[in-house]
Amino acid sequence: MSKLNVLITGSSGMVGQSLQQYIAQYNLRHKNTKNSSPNYYFLTREDCDLTDKVKLREIFKKLKVNFVIHLAAKVGGLYMNMKYNVEMFMENMKINMNVIELCHEFNVNRGVFCLSSCIFPPEPKSFPMKEEYICDSPPHPSNEGYAYSKRMLYIMCKHYNQQYGRDYICVSPVNLYGAYDNFDINNSHLIPGIIHKMYLTKYQEGEYKKDTYEVLGTGKAQRQFLFAMDFACIIFKILWNKDIDKKNMLINICSDKEYTIKQVVQLIAFNLDYDIHNIVYNNKYSDGCIKKTVSNKLFRKFFPDHKFIPLENGLDATISWFEKNYNKPRFRK
């Protein structure tokens, strides 16, 4: 019997890289099943621009795709989303429509599609937010473009499941962080942005030759965090857990922990050995959504024993990775 083929989009990104590592480790631990284990094809933007449906169709045809893990997206932190709602909506809509239409065209029956907790309503009927709250009211104005493109991906999956009997499962992680993240100072998410800027301030580099470190916003917003390697492991398990199907096609992925921005900034400062008394808060910057706590009740129904990597440990691993890779071209302006 020919091997099954799994196509993974977005493989050069943080989650894609973590998934490659996770699968490599998994295959090492299961060497005796090597002959029957699937082929995993890690697609990167160098391999194919996913907004080009003709090119992507050739890949689906060549690889004889049976399963898809769709991670690719145009992503960025709060301030990038506020600036580029048009690009965030248009590019992600094109990518998502191409991927899901080709999944259907090539009869891919099962796939995992990545959303985000930031697409949920900012003022829900209650916290923590259950999966069914996702379209109750508009998303936070700061990231409407990205949020609606992801909500449309959810609607596409939902109706391909209902109309064509697919099992397209949407996973909705909270704020992700880890190695291979985008540490760009202006466009990154919270954790990589703070690590990079606090590192520069600590070593007084360039424009960060300052006595204080400035946190953008009040520091009062609350966030949940998920280490990318944790998420990679969960995506892999969901793909192969046939108990998870169209009846539970949207699953929040998070632990029970929530932190204020201030707490996270201080954890990073302790790790970088930067004096927290030199940290100031600039409330001229938006906090974005002040709270977006999601529930992990459904996740725990399927994975009651999953142990999440604690934020302190994940930050330690991320900062070590950053310091080891800092001098590579990826970080230099």
Stretch that binds ligand GFB, among 46-54, 93-101, 211-219, 301-309 (CB under 6 A): 211-219
Identify each DSSP E strand in 217-297 by its residue range. 222-223, 225-227, 250-253, 259-260, 279-282
Closest to ligand GFB by CB, 20 or 286: 286
Q: Which of 11, 143, 161, 252 binds ligand GFB (CB under 6 A)?
A: 143
Minimum distance from residue 29 beta carbon to ligand GFB (Å)? 31
Q: Say whether residue 194 binds ligand GFB (CB under 6 A).
A: yes
Distances (CA, A) of 324 to 180, 219, 230, 297: 11, 28, 21, 37
Which of 96/116 has CB closer to ligand GFB? 116
Q: Give the residue, chosen from 22, 42, 60, 79, that forms a contact with ligand GFB under the rule CB under 6 A.
A: 79
| Residue located via tokens 């992990």 | 296
Least gap, CB of 287 to ligand GFB (angstroms): 4
Per CB under 6 A, the segment of 94-102, 139-147, 233-241, 301-309 that binds ligand GFB is 139-147
Nearer to ligand GFB, 107 or 283 (CB): 283
What is the contact mask toward ligand GFB in residues 153 to 192, using x (rule: CB under 6 A)? ----------------------x------------xxx--
User: Dihedral through CA 129, CA 131, CA 133, CA 137, nearest 10?
Assistant: 100
Measured in residues, the chain has a length of: 333
Q: What is the DSSP letter of 294?
A: B
By the 8 A CB rule, do 227 and 308 touch?
yes
Cα distance between the two ends of the chain: 50
8-state DSSP, 243: T
Alpha carbons 318 and 301: distance in angstroms, whole number: 29
Q: Which is nearer to ligand GFB, 214 or 256 (CB)?
A: 214
- The residues in 222-281 that bind ligand GFB, with binding defined as CB under 6 A, are 223, 261
**Is 79 an active-site residue?**
no
Q: Which residue is nearest to ligand GFB (CB)?
A: 217
**Residue number, 166 or 189, with CB nearest to ligand GFB:** 189
The site map against ligand GFB for 9-48 (x = CB under 6 A) is ----------------------------------------
> Angle 199-204-208 (CA atoms, 0-180°, nearest 5)?
80
Report the distance separating Cα 125 and Cα 122, nearest Å.
10
Q: What is the DSSP string of 201-237?
A: HHTT-GGG--SSEEEES-S--EE-EEEHHHHHHHHHH
Judged by the rule CB under 6 A, the positions of this chain that interact with ligand GFB are 77-79, 81, 116, 118, 142-143, 146, 175, 188-190, 193-194, 215-217, 221, 223, 261, 285, 287-289
**Residues annotated catalytic, as ranges:** 146
